[in-house]
Amino acid sequence: MPMLKIPGHERQRAREVSLDEIRAVLGDCRLCGLCETRTNIVFGVGSPNARVVLVGEAPGANEDAQGEPFVGQAGHLLDRMLSEQTRIERSEVYIANVLKCRPPGNRAPAPDEVMACSPFLREQIRSIWPDFIMTMGNPATHFILQTEVGITRLRGKVHRAGHFAVLPTFHPAAVLRDFGKLPDLEHDFYLLGQLLRGEVDPDDPTAGSAESMPGFRPSAPGEVLR
């Protein structure tokens, strides 16, 4: 991945560059063709000191219109998972996407778009330097873990990417299309809460097993999302 040079910084060590400086470099970015169809660049939102960064795929229609990630129905479900399962608020995490501009019709990100845009996400993560990264959906998971393995096989367990403990899960929008995935989404956000509270060791291979989360109560099968 190409390095993103931030003016005024020689080494760009972890936590050395601020999110505002990265946003200033992004400017009115025209590095890929998505600049032609976007309404707003959706940079990211949340705490610069967050212990967890949540990474999605790309802005949808609501996000493109408002300039903020996860503000539509998927965002509502994400907020609910954070408060009910993880027991933290949206303001305590940082949320960003692999792509900062909406692909037309919400199509999947193209490889050249990921190549062009991902250095900004990389610097955002290095700026915050969280303990945990939760990837939501295949594109975010594939980018962070550098794998082509599908999300269904990767989710529910903790993976390592250097300093970061990575917890892949479904994209909330995928759960809205298939409510059968809701208990798995709840499981993964519950596990995130356990990790943040230090109740389980991220390097313990049993983290995420039924034995390691005796207090977890998923929604009943078929329960309709509120």
* Span of 97-105, 122-130, 148-156, 192-200 interacting with ligand SF4 by CB under 6 A: 97-105
Whole-number Å distance between alpha carbons of 72 and 52: 21
Residues 90 and 75: beta-carbon distance below 8 Å? no
Which listed residue (57, 63, 113, 123) binds ligand SF4 by CB under 6 A?
113
Nearest approach, Cβ of residue 121 and ligand SF4 (Å): 9
For the sheet with 159-161, list strands across it. Answer: 45-46, 94-97, 52-56, 132-136, 164-169, 159-161
The CA R_g of the chain, rounded to the nearest whole Å, is 17
Nearest approach, Cβ of residue 41 and ligand SF4 (Å): 5
| Residue 117 found at the interface with ligand SF4 (CB under 6 A) | yes
CB closer to ligand SF4, 34 vs 134: 34
CB closer to ligand SF4, 68 vs 79: 68
| Residue 98 found at the interface with ligand SF4 (CB under 6 A) | no
Structure tokens, 75: 């965002």
- The separation between CA 42 and the C-alpha centre of its own chain, rounded to angstroms, equals 13
Binding site for ligand SF4 (CB under 6 A): 29-32, 34-35, 41, 99-101, 113, 116-117
